[in-house]
Amino acid sequence: MKNFNEFIQKFNSFYQNKAGLTRKYKQQYQIVTGRDELLGILNWCKQNSFYHLANITCVDWIEDEEFELVYNLWSYEFKVGCLFKIRIPRAKPWAPTAFELWGQAQVYEQEIHEFFGVYFPGNPDLSSLFLHNWHDLPPLRKDFDPLEYSRQAYTVEGLGVKPEYEPEVEPEDNSEGRKS
């Protein structure tokens, strides 16, 4: 493909009804599509010079009851970036893995699984990467309250532990006032 205009034309002719390609600002474009078309379009983009996957990230739209997965691609040939967005239901979140296309997608998906609870069937390793022995909600979800978690996990009241030693504090006798 010679230039990005040709890419846009071919993209629109192939995926007109399935995905929308729009310009955001400067060299940044975005493609919004659905879960079913995700891998097909990602693969087509990779075949057509979007070789670099900068990262994959997730946004929790709790009021819409959806997660948004954002695949951040860059073309070294066209000098154009593309944010590739899909929305998935928050109740049973899953998306196909992009591990077969970009090896490092495995780690980004592992991270999203850990912090948002999104499943990626086909990803070879979704074990915990950063949070060891974590039993609460995935922490980057909007309904996870870090302050409440800290109260439960780190305070004496939250843990329900009685301190081994409680100092006996006697009230100071200030009835005489300050001694000169």
Partner 1 sequence: MYLPDGYTTLTKRAPKDDREVYDLFFGPNHPGMHGNFGYVLEMEGTQIVRVRPNAGMLHRGFEKSMENKRWVQNLSLIPRVCVPDPDPNEVAYCQAVEAIMGIEAPRRARYIRSVVLELSRLGSFLMGMGGVGGALGHYSIMYLMMESRDRILDLFEELTGGRVYHIYNIPGGVRRDIPPGWKQKVLDLVDHLEKRLPEYDRLLYENPVVHTRLQGLAPLSAEEAITSGIVGPNLRASGVKADVRVDAPYAAYDEIEVNIECSGGGDALARAVQVRMDYLEAIRIIRRLLAKIPDGDFKLDLGNLMKLKVPAGDAYSKVESSKGEFGYYVVSNGGMKPYRVSVRGPSLPAGLYLCHKHLPGMKIDDVAVWMATLAICPPDIDR
* Shortest Å, Cβ 14 to partner 1: 23
Contact 137, 143 (CB under 8 A): yes
Q: Which of 24, 148, 151, 158 binds partner 1 (CB under 8 A)?
A: 24
Q: Which of 2, 17, 26, 168 binds partner 1 (CB under 8 A)?
A: 26
Told to check if 106 binds partner 1 by CB under 8 A, we report: yes
For partner 1, give the closer residue by CB, 11 or 50: 50
Around 95, how many Cα atoms within 13 Å sit in the side-chain half-sphere?
A: 36
* Shortest Å, Cβ 90 to partner 1: 14
Cross-strand bridge partners of residue 105:
none
* Shortest Å, Cβ 134 to partner 1: 10
CA distance 90 to 102: 25
Q: Which of 2, 92, 132, 162 binds partner 1 (CB under 8 A)?
A: 132
Contact 112, 118 (CB under 8 A): yes
Strand extents, DSSP E, 26-172: 28-33, 52-61, 66-75, 80-89
Quick one: three-class SS letters along 89-102? ECCCCECCCCCCCC
State the binding string over 66-105 for partner 1 (x if CB under 8 A, else -).
----x-x---x--x-x-x------------------xxx-
Find, among 86, 89, 90, 80, the residue nearest to 98 by Cα. Answer: 86
Q: How many residues can be counted in the chain?
A: 180
For partner 1, give the closer residue by CB, 8 or 140: 140
Contact 37, 29 (CB under 8 A): no
Residues 27-66 that bind partner 1 (CB under 8 A): 27-28, 51-55, 57-60
For partner 1, give the closer residue by CB, 36 or 64: 64
Told to check if 153 binds partner 1 by CB under 8 A, we report: no
CA distance 90 to 65: 5
Name the pairing type of β-strands 66-75 and 20-25. unpaired
Judged by the rule CB under 8 A, the positions of this chain that interact with partner 1 are: 24-28, 51-55, 57-60, 70, 72, 76, 79, 81, 83, 102-104, 106-108, 129-132, 139-140, 144, 146
